[in-house]
């Protein structure tokens, strides 16, 4: 192969090819007439030389690699280090540019010493490692975000199989489409930015900790319900119900939050996994202000425990509260009105299908989510109480009697219908 062909295959000039040969980087055979006869191996060697020159290898370094190919791995590692240093330097320059932009020479000169100190102290190796860590998403967080996004999509799935009756698909479908876009972007970002070299959270262990947290949450709720039953009910009690749903939600969020801070904060301290750094910080705050933390939790538990209303067998009520732990009794005649009906609207899937709200001068109470104290079919306590209130001629208002809004089993929908129509057994 003549030098002109080699030049075409490698993109190098004739002069450069001869120069590399003179430096001993390639060895070219000669034919019988002593003309150079380049081989395909020479082309491959010249392309490798050109590739290494892209990374600013010196000719001596290139010669070392050619003579000792095992040096290639070392050189690649050096390239990686060099590129990382260059990137860090460029990042420093960008940050410095943001600081000095818009300032004249005199202002920058006045602040130059402080600026250099800040760059040296703040933009160190640990800072850039943190940046790389933040840029690489966690598989655990990606899965959790996917679960958060999946609500409308799962709703459509359940609706398609008749497991959930959405009443206005014109509203649900756009939300499902937006959720699908969000899920797609979340996973594309994960696969684009993940860094396999970084030590991220073990997803399996993290999910086991989440399941354990939920188990402790349910155990706590069971214990609180047990205490409420033992402290506030007696032989005359029929059902009991929380005074405020909002308080219940606050209690749930508080308990699950504290359990997860404890578990994941300890995990961060044991493994050094930065995914859980915020939990370690919160655990530190809990420890620092433990006296306040204990008092706030005691007040929250006491408030949740005492915020309960008891309905007796005769339909009368006893309402307790954190400021009224002995309770206030209300006889049946103090119930002004009962409002019943089916819940509707886009968010009905997050509510009970049916509501039965007692109104007094002091409060209103939905008793559908009450805890029963007797062994009886589900929701039968509502029908029994409706019978009692009907005998006392308590005013009943029906807000929505359209049975299509009931997605429960037929036996429950029939029970609700009897209450609405005043035909309770």
Residue 279 has pLDDT above 90, yes or no: no
Residue 304 has pLDDT above 80, yes or no: yes
Q: How confident is the model at residue 60 (pLDDT cuts 50, 70, 90)?
A: confident
Give the other-Cβ count within 10 Å of 357's Cβ. Answer: 16
CB 108, CB 100: distance < 8 Å: yes
Residues of the chain above pLDDT 70, percent: 82
Residue 128 has pLDDT above 60, yes or no: no
What number is the average pLDDT over the span 370-377?
A: 75
Residue 25 has pLDDT above 90, yes or no: no
What number is the average pLDDT over the span 80-96?
A: 73
What number is the average pLDDT over the span 267-279?
A: 77
Residue 100 has pLDDT above 90, yes or no: no
pLDDT-wise least confident of 33-42, 92-101, 251-260, 368-377: 92-101
Give the other-Cβ count within 10 Å of 397's Cβ. Answer: 11
Residue 350 has pLDDT above 60, yes or no: no
What number is the average pLDDT over the span 188-195?
A: 76
CA distance 38 to 36: 6
Residues of the chain above pLDDT 90, percent: 24
Query: What's the pLDDT score for residue 10?
Result: 86
Q: Which residues of 182-215 are buried (b: 16+ CB within 10 A; e: fewer)?
A: bbeebeeebeeebeeeeebbbeeebeebbeebee
What number is the average pLDDT over the span 124-150?
A: 67
Beta bridge partners of 398: 340
Q: How confident is the model at residue 319 (pLDDT cuts 50, 70, 90)?
A: very high
Most confident of 2-11, 63-72, 103-112, 403-412: 2-11
Alpha-carbon radius of gyration of the chain = 37
Residue 192 has pLDDT above 50, yes or no: yes
Query: What's the pLDDT score for residue 159?
Result: 66
pLDDT-wise least confident of 42-46, 239-243, 330-334, 377-381: 377-381
Query: What's the pLDDT score for residue 107?
Result: 73
> Half-sphere exposure of residue 72, counting CA atoms within 13 Å on the CB side?
9
Q: How confident is the model at residue 167 (pLDDT cuts 50, 70, 90)?
A: very low
State the CATH class of domain 3-69: mainly alpha
Q: How confident is the model at residue 168 (pLDDT cuts 50, 70, 90)?
A: low
CA distance 397 to 364: 14
Cα-Cα end-to-end distance for the chain? 104
Query: What's the pLDDT score for residue 348?
Result: 54
What number is the average pLDDT over the span 297-315?
A: 94
Q: How confident is the model at residue 75 (pLDDT cuts 50, 70, 90)?
A: confident
Query: What's the pLDDT score for residue 166?
Result: 47
Three-state SS at 117: helix
Query: What's the pLDDT score for residue 202?
Result: 59
What number is the average pLDDT over the span 141-148?
A: 79
The 8-class DSSP code of residue 235 comes to T
Query: What's the pLDDT score for residue 317?
Result: 95
Query: What's the pLDDT score for residue 197?
Result: 61
Q: How confident is the model at residue 133 (pLDDT cuts 50, 70, 90)?
A: low
Query: What's the pLDDT score for residue 78?
Result: 78
What number is the average pLDDT over the span 71-88?
A: 78
Q: How confident is the model at residue 3 (pLDDT cuts 50, 70, 90)?
A: confident
Report the length, in residues, of the chain. Answer: 425
Domain residues of the chain, as ranges? 3-69, 72-135, 201-328, 331-421
Element of type H or E holding 65:
helix 59-67
Residue 349 has pLDDT above 60, yes or no: no
Closest CA to 50 of 39, 59, 40, 41: 59
pLDDT-wise least confident of 12-21, 163-172, 223-232, 248-257: 163-172
Give the other-Cβ count within 10 Å of 258's Cβ. Answer: 18
Residue 377 has pLDDT above 70, yes or no: no
Query: What's the pLDDT score for residue 338?
Result: 93
Chain centroid, CA 356 distance in Å:
35
């Amino acid at each position: 192969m003549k030098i002109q062909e080699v030049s075409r295959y490698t993109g190098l000039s004739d002069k450069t090819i001869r120069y590399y040969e003179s430096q001993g980087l390639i060895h070219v055979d000669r034919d019988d007439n002593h003309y150079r006869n380049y081989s395909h191996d020479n082309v491959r060697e010249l392309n490798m030389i050109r590739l290494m020159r892209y990374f600013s290898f010196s000719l001596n370094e290139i010669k070392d690699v050619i003579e000792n190919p095992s040096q290639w791995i070392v050189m690649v590692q050096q390239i990686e280090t060099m590129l990382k240093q260059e990137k860090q330097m460029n990042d420093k320059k960008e940050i410095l540019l943001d600081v000095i932009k818009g300032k004249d020479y005199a202002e920058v000169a006045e602040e130059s010493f402080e600026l250099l100190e800040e760059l040296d102290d703040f933009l160190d190796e640990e800072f850039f490692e943190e940046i790389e860590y933040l840029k690489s998403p966690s598989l655990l967080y990606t899965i959790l975000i996917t679960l958060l996004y999946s609500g409308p999509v799962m709703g459509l799935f359940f609706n398609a199989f008749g497991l959930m009756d959405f009443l206005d698909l014109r509203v649900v479908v756009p939300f499902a489409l937006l959720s699908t876009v969000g899920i797609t972007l979340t996973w594309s970002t994960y696969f684009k930015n993940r860094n396999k070299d970084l030590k991220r959270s073990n997803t399996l262990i993290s999910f086991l900790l989440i399941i354990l947290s939920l188990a402790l949450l349910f155990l706590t709720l069971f214990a609180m319900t047990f205490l409420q039953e033992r402290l506030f009910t007696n032989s005359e009690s029929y059902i009991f119900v929380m005074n405020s749903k909002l308080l219940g939600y606050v209690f749930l969020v508080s308990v699950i939050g504290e359990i997860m801070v404890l578990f994941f904060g300890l995990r961060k301290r044991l493994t050094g996994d930065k995914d859980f750094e915020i939990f370690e910080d919160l655990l530190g705050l809990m420890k620092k202000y433990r006296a306040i933390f204990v008092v706030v939790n005691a007040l929250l538990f006491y408030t949740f425990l005492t915020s309960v209303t008891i309905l007796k067998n005769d339909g009368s009520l006893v309402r307790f509260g954190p400021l009224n732990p002995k309770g206030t009794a209300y006889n049946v005649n103090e119930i002004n009105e009962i409002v019943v009906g089916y819940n509707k609207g886009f968010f009905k899937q997050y509510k009970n299908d049916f509501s039965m709200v007692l109104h007094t001068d002091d409060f209103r109470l939905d008793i559908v989510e009450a805890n029963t104290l007797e062994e009886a079919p589900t929701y039968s306590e509502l029908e029994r109480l409706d019978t009692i209130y009907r005998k006392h001629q308590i005013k009943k208002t029906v807000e929505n009697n359209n049975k299509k809004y009931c997605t429960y089993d037929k036996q429950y929908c029939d029970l609700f219908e009897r209450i609405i129509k005043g035909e309770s057994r």
